[in-house]
Structure 1
Amino acid sequence: MDSKTMSSRLRELVKFLATVKGDLANVTGPPSLLAPSSVVEVGHCFAQRPYIFAAPALEPLAEKRALAVLKWFLTSLRAQLYVAGSPKGVSIKKPLNAFLGELFLASWTDEEHKATTELVAEQVSHHPPITAMHISDKANGVRADGYARVEMTFNGNVNIRQVGHAVFHVDKYNEDHLVPLPDVKIRGFLSGCMYPEITGVYTLHSSSGFVTEVKFSGEGMIRGKRNSFEARIYRKDDPKQKSIYTVSGVWSDGWIVKDARSGEVMESYNLDEDLPVPMDIAPLEEQSDWESRKAWGKVFEGLIVGNLDQATREKTMIEKAQRQMRADEVARGEKWEPLLFGNMTGEEHEVFHRLSEGTGWQLADEKTKGVWKVKEGRDNIQRPFRAGLSPLGV
């Protein structure tokens, strides 16, 4: 990006942010700052390396299963947060706000490791914006359910708070892992090259009795290196909380895993040397109008080729139709029902309350319209989804 383009982009961004008050989550922003993807697709970051997703089911030691879940969590972060950007210096962009009922379905097959992940995701609420996802590897007996409400504010940095969590389940051991969704700051406005930074301490809790503690830091912190972290795993019932494994490095690049008891290096992992397997999605002509790639197709096309007029026109058409659909529902006294996901009250979420006991971790289900999980029998719901109705209200 040349300096003139960078300066223009920065002025456009600052001018836009100066006009916005309160939560930015439902604000789209200038087209030049948008990525050709939707928020509802974000779950792909958890599914694109099937062998890592399946690994906890193949590990007989509970402490190493906790380590495998940590690796799954860490490998998701770069694809999740560097949207249409790169840790090597390409400015990240903002994905499109998903419309209510928007769907994303995809799968990834790793022939070498005999693992296949399937992802279904749905925008279950628009005000506030809530995305729910379900990932499964049926052959290996592993699944993950997660949901998030994204809250965004601006105070010199864009601050992204994710209200929600994920639960990773291993059938073979009837084992659950409670996984956080970290908060993020978007930095780099003055340089014109924006990048994400996670700060703070987060914990993953396993029903087998292990706790994983992850401390994130970044530029300007003690170590001063972007996207840095240090993690350790210990037994919950150990009064001294002695580390069993430690992991340290850069979550957007790579890290070192050590046995804390012996000091032995167990693994040196590099993201660039472990590329995701190709994603498999239905051809556009076979997709339902409610599926993300088809619904936003002309918008994505405009963003990719730089035709911002087309992107704006097509995006505005969908957004206007969605507003009219909501108004029509109110007039008819109807309530929108998600297709693939259902919600329950916070009191019913036994796994969360059991694993978070004594941690101070709050569920905040009042902010997410309850707790979201994929519906039983969702495999019986087939294309065309919502036959007879399109996102344009037709």
Structure 2
Amino acid sequence: MSSKDPHSGVPASSKGSWTSFLKSIASFNGDLSSLTAPPFILSSTSLTEYSAYWAEHPALFVAPAKEADPEKRALAVLKWFLSTLHQQYCSRSEKLGSEKKPLNPFLGELFLGKWDADAEVGETSLISEQVSHHPPATAYAIRNEKHGVELQGYNAQKASFSSTIQIKQIGHALLSLTPPGADKNDPAQQEKYLITLPALHIESLIYGTPFVELEKTTRIASSTGYIAKIDYSGKGWLSGKKNTFSAILYKESDGEKKPLYTIDGQWSDSFVIKDARKNEVDRFSVKETQTTPLTLAPLDQQDLYESRRAWRDVAAGIERSDMDAVSVAKSKIENAQRELRKVEKSEGREWERRFFKRVNESDDEVFRELGPKLGLTSLESDKTGGVWRFDAAKAADAKPPYHATGGEGLGITA
């Protein structure tokens, strides 16, 4: 039994509101994202920014495209995916002391940037867009044209309470890469990888220092016949360490009983890759692998709908712990958005997505090919507002203003 005091991570002034919050989520029936969290647990970052975590190691992101052997490419994809988990699920609690509740994006919100610090890697661009509000869903496209690598996907979170906060992630990611010698402009020569998303739950909630723990299984299926399976065990029963996982890469035709590679370790710290003969072939350490900062346009040059500019008054209020200012700034955006939805409904139209399009699940060739390999029969599109795919034609030469609707959609009056 832990000797740690309950609520030990909660500021003294917030202990009452934190106790009330814990009671409210324990008895809540529905989607927890609609609950109001105490101020000290609020983040000044919007959920649209989380898409950037996929590519904060740009060299690892493009590494598979440099590998001539299909098996080694599939392994490089698995290594890259595992390298993203620390940033996606651990970096915030390390930086801020605990996991924080992000800002809920508004429909049409954008987060745009690029990584271009390494000449050998070249420019990697990010487009993240809130494509649905009810239910909330964020879509993203991350592209490196020099190496012919593109990641696109979308996700939504469904939260519930069962002894702690449980979060089911709905959606998936699609990685396309161009093998050495192939034509980057010919889709038929590209390899495709379908990636499922991990389920997670929140640990240490009672102490007021929540952090994410992954659970269950994710899989990656490739168009070249390789399957990766990652099992998350949380605090490993052998190691006793949090964030423990084990992964295998195998040929679909051979089955998972004959793995080509095994990977074990902690996704928040380090892991070791071994071949079928148990020889170590590679290892990865979070501490020894620096992330590359994302470059954004200066705030005053950003579009009105870009996250940092749109939420700046809210973020400033959160940083100052001025909840009255936060409430006023948030309400201005939320009320304007509600009015916009009313107008659209009365005119029989819907908000036009800027960089993504809704597609029919049954018409999506990549999912039809790779989904069955992972046992997926449905994309649960009713829970994400649709199946979302990046529209390269819409993105070509895109410049602000990105939306036809101006500041009135955010409560900004000239």
Moved more, 278-287 or 8-17: 8-17
How do residues 1-394 of structure 1 correspond to structure 2 at under 5 angstroms? Answer: 1=9, 4=12, 7-8=15-16, 10-18=18-26, 20-82=28-90, 84-86=92-94, 90-111=97-118, 113-172=120-179, 174-219=190-235, 221=237, 223-239=239-255, 241-261=257-277, 263-362=278-377, 363-377=379-393, 378-387=395-404, 389-390=406-407, 391-392=409-410
Q: Distance in 1 between matches of 2:328 and 2:75?
A: 47
For the Cα contact (< 8 Å) 2:221–2:374, is it kept in 1? no
Q: Distance in 2 between matches of 1:161 and 1:257?
A: 28
Structure 1 residues 240 and 345: CA distance shift in structure 2, 3 A: closer
For the Cα contact (< 8 Å) 2:48–2:138, is it kept in 1? yes
For the Cα contact (< 8 Å) 1:54–1:115, is it kept in 2? no
Secondary structure at 2:372's aligned position in 1?
coil
Structure 1 residues 277 and 341: CA distance shift in structure 2, 3 A: same
Q: Deviations over 1:199-237 (max 9, x none)?
A: 112211111111111110113756432110000111111
Alignment-derived partner of residue 183 in structure 2:
none
Q: Aligned AA for 1:392?
A: L
Q: Deviations over 1:4-40 (max 9, x none)?
A: 3674564253144256430123445333221111111
Normalising by structure 1, we get a TM-score of 0.93
Q: Distance in 2 between matches of 1:5 and 1:228?
A: 35
How big is the shift at 1:141? 0.4
Q: Deviations over 1:324-371 (max 9, x none)?
A: 221222223221121111010110111112112253223222332332
Normalising by structure 2, we get a TM-score of 0.89
Structure 1 residues 240 and 317: CA distance shift in structure 2, 3 A: closer
Structure 1 residues 6 and 26: CA distance shift in structure 2, 3 A: closer
Q: Aligned AA for 2:157?
A: V
How big is the shift at 1:273? 1.6
Secondary structure at 2:25's aligned position in 1?
helix
Q: Distance in 2 between matches of 1:6 and 1:209?
A: 53
For the Cα contact (< 8 Å) 1:162–1:183, is it kept in 2? yes
Percent of residue pairs identical: 36
Could you say what the CA RMSD is over the residues aligned between the two structures, in angstroms?
Answer: 2.2
Structure 1 runs of 4+ aligned residues shifted over 3 Å read 1-10, 25-28, 220-224
How big is the shift at 1:146? 0.3
Secondary structure at 2:248's aligned position in 1?
strand
Long gaps (5+) in structure 1? none
Q: Distance in 2 between matches of 1:239 and 1:171?
A: 26
Q: Distance in 1 between matches of 2:36 and 2:128?
A: 20
Q: Distance in 2 between matches of 1:375 and 1:108?
A: 21
Q: Distance in 2 between matches of 1:328 and 1:143?
A: 36
Q: Distance in 2 between matches of 1:234 and 1:71?
A: 14
Q: Deviations over 1:156-214 (max 9, x none)?
A: 21111111101100123510111111111012112221111111122111111111111
Q: Distance in 2 between matches of 1:10 and 1:71?
A: 39
Number of residues of Structure 1 aligned to a counterpart in Structure 2: 392
Secondary structure at 1:115's aligned position in 2?
coil
Alignment-derived partner of residue 184 in structure 2:
none
